[in-house]
Structure 1
Amino acid sequence: MNKNRFIYGSIIMVFMNFLMKIIGFAYEVALSKFLGAEAMGLFQISMSTLMTFLIITTSGIPTSVTKLVAQENSKKNYNNVESIFNSTLTFNLFASIIISIILLLFSEFISIKMLKSKDMVLGVYFMIPAIIILSASSILRSYFYGMKDMITPSIAQIIEHLTRFIIIVGILYYVCPVEPIHGATIAILGISIGEFFDLMWSLFSKKRLYKTKSNYPIDKKNEKSYLIKVLYMSIPLTISGSFGVILRFINTILIPNRLMAAGYTSSDSISIFGRIMGMTMPLIGLSFIVTSALVVNLIPSLSEQIALKRYKDIKRDIHLSIKVTLLIALPLMSLYVGLSKPLAILLYNDPLVANFIHIMAYGTVLLALQHTFSGILLGLNKQTSATVSSIIGMILRIILIYIFVGDPRFGVNGIFISFYGSNTVILILNLIAIRSVVKFDIDYIDIIGKPLVASIFMIGFIYLSIHDIGNLQNISTLGFVSSLLVGSLAYIFVLFLTKAIPKNLFKKLIKLP
């Protein structure tokens, strides 16, 4: 019965994760279409700045709360559970207010030096409510995870994505066309709007689901002792998590600055950054919709098998996860290579994005495998190796950006060099770490050759079904989507024909745990 409940919960989580990713992708596409490249660049820089300010309250503390809540809940010490929740929520709110004051004091510096415009100071102000709300909602989410309630936070995140999409896209629909600075400010406001609804649902759910758990007065001294425990546990997690956030922040700030050093204007630099990070990368990362669900099921399976030393089952699951990853990533890569211009026009109404999509298309496979390999390492209890690989890769990316992007001979191409160079290194390091635990063989014809052949047929069918693909003005969105469906069916048909899809694939994925 417990196993059936676990499988049922896994299916629900996979579906919710899929729905959340789809809404998130649709939101990013809508934002890009309404705002344009420069506004998306400003928004991406703002997001990176916001995440840097949230390091203290959202890096290590939520994970520590989840662990302690799970421990005390398993012992039925509900008063202790409430002590952990109350003390950490109070601390996070207090810390977020302090952080907000610092942000307020340096708002003009951030808007001029980082966002390259004094007029973006209003956008910086809009980060303040986001900091406070995100700090509170992270504690609530970790509380639910500790109570082994995965459904409530998943629903909260769907509500967050959906309300943000409806409200912000609705506002942009009525006010567009809009200046890049104003558009970016509206997008920043959207973070607080979505998180507010997430927080309200989470608070309501906690009161409704867990209001009878604590029957005795909570000891304030107990709260203090648990807060100290949480903070002590969170220190190493915060330090390791902050490396990634800070390195990403440096990467975000460095690219526009090095482009300007190469001779680009401030507006062009931010526009290029917006086209790459705000328009191209959501497409390249689309495979994460599937790999995220795969990793969720893969980690507990590998953790159990490594403890029992079932190396045959470990090899089977690793091979299956790589195969599924490539079955999704390879056709997406082929789609971006073959149809970069139609996608740029229909999704973003921006022909300049086509070149970026075409060049970065091969990164689809690279990032998808990297994501899956990271999940495998977590399942094999090699999380340190995954973290070290990621940090090495990001440091390398910063070095390559500084060297190549600022060189007028490379300019924008330096971004692609740093992207492929750093991610290839991360992938190789992860693969070496996996092979240090378990050796496994790969049938390259089966997992690469067959999906590539099927992808070629898919692109061919799409071109055949759209007679005038070179004349984009004559292609309707419905017609293009229909041709994608035809191509997808052709892809699946060839996979079945070549026996590239394992028998009972879905059942195998569900039974991974």
Structure 2
Amino acid sequence: MTKNGFVYGSTVMLILNIVNRIIDFVYDVSLSNILGAEAIGWFQIGLSTLMIFNTITTSGIPTSITKLVAEENSKGNKQNVENIYRSTIVFNFFVSLILATILLIFSDSIAIKVFKNEYLLYGVYSLAPAIIILSLSNVFRAYFYGMRNVIFPSIAQIIEHFARFIIIIGILMLIKPVEPIHGTMIALFGISIGEFFDLLFSYVSKKKHYTYKINSPNKDNNSFMLLSKILLVSFPLTVSGLLEVLLNFSNTLLIPSRLNAAGYTISESIATLGRINGMAMPLIGLSFMFTSSLVTNLIPSLSEQMVLKKYNDMRNDIRLAIKATFLMSVPLMFVYVFLSKPLAIFLYNDPIVADYIHIMGYGTILLALQHILSGILYGLNKHVAATFNRLFMMILNVILIYFLVGNPNLGINGYFISFFISHIVVILLNIATLKKVIRLKLDYFDIIGKPFIASVFMIGYIKMTTYDLSHLQNGNLFAFIFCLMIAGLSYIFVLILTKAIPKDFLKRILKSR
């Protein structure tokens, strides 16, 4: 993939990701407002449970599909590309069917021992179809990425989130007020609804635009051999993915448990989990609408450049990705840190969330940088090292949560301490790994200093032009939104003024084809 091609792919995906993230964010906010913190906490436990059953089919296999499809397509082996798709779609279907059956068999135990609520049994049932649908939709998404098509999977995700928003929020509004248990079950069922529309669009797009006939099977590259290669490549990622999901699941259950040990009630513990994972994290995760598009393009792009030995293009893409990550994450960090209370009142009408947004806001850069560095290492065929670094981070995080959150003197602050320590450690490990692979010179003032200067100017503008930020429920919300938009333009203006954004940037995008 050429530099222009990378810029084009990332730019198109960024625009679609912005639309996708906005719909998803509005859905998260609406769900939190309707259900409340406690129900959102249960919903987060449900998501963690789903990910355990989906790990085998959604962790290592999609990355392997993208990588191998990109390699075979660059060589013009269309038959191998089709074989990869067909073999993995069949494999994922049967494996996910078995996993969904296991979920149903143990549904009673999951409701009682995991959710701590037998009335959420039907919520567990609703996860079964999601296991199958998610497994299949991930194959299509990975296939499209390998074919350098970022449009179809991005549109599919927009359709998924939009359908889920309309149907689930519509149902909840019709039956409002809704009990937390009933709301949780409806929200869990919404996962399957959204993913179904994603899968349907992806299937139609694949059939219409990428249909290749399979001739007589090649002895060296038939479906079985290609599937074996995919499973072999994905095995370490799948194992690490399973460990990662188990660690995430442990965190989800450990936080309420240790808070309870620190003196919180069960209801307060679940509500705190809901406020962190269901309210604060969707805000902090907005940076992923940019880094995810970069990572998705980086993995096949760097993989292809490694094969073709285009080392200068590799360095340029890596510099561009790191710079773009800071351009997006730094202003978001400033907004969360300095405007946490207005955002909490505006979005959730919950002042308690403000403290969580303020503290987690400092981690915006850490999350974005960790994500992009991992993507770079995956693209440079250092997926084992990147995976090991991330697993080490998560193990460290679990250990710190256990000892710190359960401390009555720290409580939930123990979680924040563990979050920052673990993410700083993994970033340092990723940087050390990257230095061993490729020499990379960076202009730190250009990459970091200029976004900081522009962000200070942006926040200063907001503070000077917005009245009574602490009481938005009594003020003009539209004026506040307008102020944020103008502040964003002021941020871009300062970036242009300091030449943080090259003058030919738009020209490069327009001519990238």
1:141-180 CA deviation, whole Å, 9 max, x = no partner? 3444555554333322221121111111212222222222
Offset of residue 249 of structure 1: 1.5
1:5-54 CA deviation, whole Å, 9 max, x = no partner? 88765543343233222322222222222222111111111111101011
Q: Which residue of 2 aligns with 1:102?
A: 102
TM-score, length basis structure 1: 0.88
Residues 79, 469 of structure 1: alpha-carbon distance in 2 compared, 3 angstrom cutoff: closer
What amino acid is aligned across from residue 13 of structure 2 in structure 1? M
For residue 264 of structure 2, give the secondary structure of its aligned residue in structure 1: coil
Q: Which residue of 2 aligns with 1:264?
A: 264
CA distance in 2, matches of 1:82, 1:440: 37
For residue 437 of structure 2, give the secondary structure of its aligned residue in structure 1: coil
Larger displacement relative to structure 2 (198-207 or 426-435): 198-207
Larger displacement relative to structure 2 (223-232 or 429-438): 223-232
CA distance in 2, matches of 1:212, 1:382: 32
Matched ranges for 1:277-316 at <5 A: 277-299=277-299, 302=302
Q: Which residue of 1 aligns with 2:141?
A: 141
What amino acid is aligned across from residue 258 of structure 1 in structure 2? R
CA distance in 2, matches of 1:73, 1:298: 16
Q: Which residue of 2 aligns with 1:213?
A: 213
Asked if 2 retains the 8 angstrom alpha-carbon contact of 1:116 and 1:266, the reply is no
User: Identity over aligned residues, as a percent?
Assistant: 58
Q: Which residue of 2 aligns with 1:457?
A: 457
Offset of residue 188 of structure 1: 0.7
What amino acid is aligned across from residue 138 of structure 1 in structure 2? N
CA distance in 2, matches of 1:288, 1:235: 26
What amino acid is aligned across from residue 160 of structure 1 in structure 2? E
Q: Which residue of 1 aligns with 2:387?
A: 387
What amino acid is aligned across from residue 122 of structure 1 in structure 2? Y
Q: Which residue of 1 aligns with 2:480?
A: 480
1:257-291 CA deviation, whole Å, 9 max, x = no partner? 11111121111111111111111111112112222
Residues 456, 202 of structure 1: alpha-carbon distance in 2 compared, 3 angstrom cutoff: closer
What amino acid is aligned across from residue 347 of structure 1 in structure 2? L
CA distance in 2, matches of 1:84, 1:326: 36
Residues 204, 417 of structure 1: alpha-carbon distance in 2 compared, 3 angstrom cutoff: same
Residues 459, 237 of structure 1: alpha-carbon distance in 2 compared, 3 angstrom cutoff: closer
For residue 238 of structure 2, give the secondary structure of its aligned residue in structure 1: helix
Offset of residue 460 of structure 1: 2.2
CA distance in 1, matches of 2:393, 2:62: 26
CA distance in 1, matches of 2:312, 2:66: 32
Larger displacement relative to structure 2 (321-330 or 258-267): 321-330
CA distance in 1, matches of 2:512, 2:423: 28
CA distance in 2, matches of 1:85, 1:299: 18
For residue 352 of structure 1, give the secondary structure of its aligned residue in structure 2: helix
CA distance in 2, matches of 1:53, 1:390: 20
Offset of residue 511 of structure 1: 8.8
Residues 151, 457 of structure 1: alpha-carbon distance in 2 compared, 3 angstrom cutoff: closer
Asked if 2 retains the 8 angstrom alpha-carbon contact of 1:301 and 1:512, the reply is no
Matched ranges for 1:400-419 at <5 A: 400-419=400-419
CA distance in 2, matches of 1:426, 1:109: 35
CA RMSD of aligned residues (A): 3.4
Q: Does 1:398 align with 2:391?
A: no
Aligned length: 512
Q: Which residue of 1 aligns with 2:40?
A: 40
Q: Which residue of 1 aligns with 2:182?
A: 182
TM-score, length basis structure 2: 0.88
CA distance in 1, matches of 2:382, 2:105: 41
Q: Which residue of 2 aligns with 1:425?
A: 425
Residues 437, 147 of structure 1: alpha-carbon distance in 2 compared, 3 angstrom cutoff: closer
What amino acid is aligned across from residue 352 of structure 2 in structure 1? L
CA distance in 2, matches of 1:147, 1:317: 19
Matched ranges for 1:50-449 at <5 A: 50-66=50-66, 85-145=85-145, 149-210=149-210, 213-214=213-214, 230-299=230-299, 302=302, 317-440=317-440, 442-449=442-449
What amino acid is aligned across from residue 195 of structure 1 in structure 2? E
Residues 216, 414 of structure 1: alpha-carbon distance in 2 compared, 3 angstrom cutoff: same
Offset of residue 423 of structure 1: 0.4
Residues 449, 233 of structure 1: alpha-carbon distance in 2 compared, 3 angstrom cutoff: closer
CA distance in 1, matches of 2:290, 2:68: 31
Asked if 2 retains the 8 angstrom alpha-carbon contact of 1:164 and 1:191, the reply is yes
Asked if 2 retains the 8 angstrom alpha-carbon contact of 1:133 and 1:192, the reply is yes
Residues 142, 334 of structure 1: alpha-carbon distance in 2 compared, 3 angstrom cutoff: closer
**5+ unaligned residues in a row in structure 2: which ranges?**
none
